[in-house]
Structure formats: structure tokens, C-alpha cells
């Protein structure tokens, strides 16, 4: 699973997720992509599950680029712990995703294969997505 090698700070605030994606909103590497249509946190487990769905369907054909990285730590307190006592420990890492963000790109396969592979991957993700093509 994806995690940052180093961090400047161990814990982060939740932050706001308003507006559209400023960067990463057009195809840069591949011919086909999976674009986010909503906001949400995509965990490293979900990114990996979607990647595995794509590679399984394409039978390791073509090329895949993952355009999001989970660099935001999310803390969680253990179950049945009373209020107070500070912020919990880091439970997972997430990638904040806003509308318009390209999450995955593909090339080297036909449009039909790419569309179906990215459709299968979209079922693993917590945000609404759409298929995009170059040109």
C-alpha cells in the first residue's frame, strides 16, 4: 500500500474540500483516464484495490499511471475510549480528491478494454467518476 516515506508533521487537520481540482485535471500521460466527479478521501487501500482491478482486467497489458498519492494522515482513537486525552494515532493515509481530478490513466489498450477496466476500478472508489479520453 502507498504511504509517504517521511512527513514533516505526524498529524494533520481535516481541512476543507470546496471547489474544483486546480491541478491534475487533464490527461498528461495516457490516452484514457478516470476523472473524479465528487469530493472525498481516497484511502491507500482503495487506490490499491482499484489498481488491482485494472491490472486484472487488462491481463497486465498496456500501461497504468496512478495520479493520486495518499499523503494525508488520518487519526483515529481506539474503540470504547472516553472523550479527551488528545488526538488519536495515525490510522491510515488518504488522498483528498476534488471534482475534475484525474485519478488513473491508461494507454496501450483499446478504448473498450480501458473503459471496462476503469469502470471496474470506479466501483472500488468512494467518489463518483467518469471515463475520459484524449482529444
32-133 folds as: Aldehyde Oxidoreductase; domain 3 (3.90.1170)
Q: Which three cell numbers stand for residue 91?
A: 490510522
Mean pLDDT of 18-30: 94
Work out the average pLDDT over 104-126. 96
The pLDDT value recorded for residue 99 is: 97
Q: DSSP H helical segments within 22-135, as ranges?
A: 44-58, 111-122
Whether pLDDT at 3 is above 90 = yes
Question: Could you give the percent of the chain with pLDDT greater than 90?
Answer: 96
Amino acid at each position: 500500500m502507498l504511504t509517504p516515506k517521511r512527513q514533516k508533521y505526524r498529524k494533520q487537520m481535516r481541512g476543507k474540500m470546496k471547489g474544483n481540482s486546480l491541478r491534475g485535471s487533464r490527461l498528461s500521460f495516457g490516452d484514457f483516464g478516470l476523472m473524479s466527479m465528487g469530493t472525498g478521501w481516497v484511502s491507500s487501500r482503495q487506490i490499491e484495490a482499484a489498481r488491482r482491478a485494472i491490472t486484472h482486467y487488462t491481463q497486465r497489458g498496456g500501461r497504468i499511471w496512478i495520479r493520486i498519492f495518499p499523503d494525508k494522515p488520518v487519526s483515529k482513537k481506539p474503540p470504547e475510549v472516553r472523550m479527551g486525552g488528545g488526538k488519536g494515532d495515525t490510522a491510515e493515509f488518504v488522498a483528498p480528491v476534488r471534482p475534475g481530478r484525474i485519478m488513473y490513466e491508461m494507454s496501450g489498450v483499446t478504448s473498450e478494454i480501458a473503459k471496462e477496466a476503469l469502470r471496474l476500478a470506479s466501483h472500488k472508489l468512494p467518489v463518483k467518476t467518469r471515463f475520459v479520453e484524449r482529444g
